[in-house]
Structure 1
Amino acid sequence: MSHRYAVGQMLDLRSAPRHSNRPTGPCEVVACLPHEKGPVLYRVKSWGESNERVVEEVDLSPSSATKSVKSANERVFSIAIGKR
């Protein structure tokens, strides 16, 4: 079974099972994780969080959200360069 979604694609993260602090809403696929059997897994980053999460493919759905211009052009050193 192959991955349905690609790295960089914007998706909607569905609600988590009870007792989870996982947010719902738009997220970006950071990595497609390897697997031989079991659920297809992805590493995603939600817009409202700074950390990444591993989620199953069934918890993701296509989204109409797009990356903002700022996040697409953001650089690691943008703050240091901008203050010169």
Structure 2
Amino acid sequence: MLHRYKVGQMLDLRSAPRHSNRPTGPYEVISCLPHDRGPVLYRVKSSSEINDRVVEETDLVPGATTKSAVAEGESFFSIAIDRR
């Protein structure tokens, strides 16, 4: 089974079970973990936490943070100019 998401992609983490300290919100994919069987796993990092987390692919969903400027009609050049 292949990984659906790529390193560097920003995704939303679904809400955790009731007794979990895992916050929801945007997370960056740090690495795609190898697997032979079982769920597809990713190492992800939130900007609001110090630690990385390992989560299943089913816990990740594309969200508002995944929209790229190119998809919205801007070019990479105009983004670079705007950030100066």
Task: Name the counterpart of 2:55.
Answer: 55
Gap runs ≥5 in structure 2: 67-84
Gap runs ≥5 in structure 1: 67-84
Quick one: distance in 1 between partners of 2:9 and 2:35?
20
Task: Name the counterpart of 2:15.
Answer: 15
TM-score (norm 1): 0.75
Q: Is 1:35 matched up with 2:35?
A: yes
1:9-41 Cα offsets, whole Å, 9 max, x none, are 000001111211001010000000000110000
Quick one: distance in 2 between partners of 1:47 and 1:24?
12
Letter in 1 for 2:9: Q
1:27-82 Cα offsets, whole Å, 9 max, x none, are 0000000001100000000121111000000000012216xxxxxxxxxxxxxxxx
Letter in 2 for 1:60: L
- The number of aligned residues is 66
What SS does structure 2 have at the residue aligned with 1:17?
coil
What SS does structure 2 have at the residue aligned with 1:65?
helix
**What is the aligned-residue identity percentage?**
76
Quick one: distance in 2 between partners of 1:63 and 1:37?
27
Task: Name the counterpart of 1:82.
Answer: none
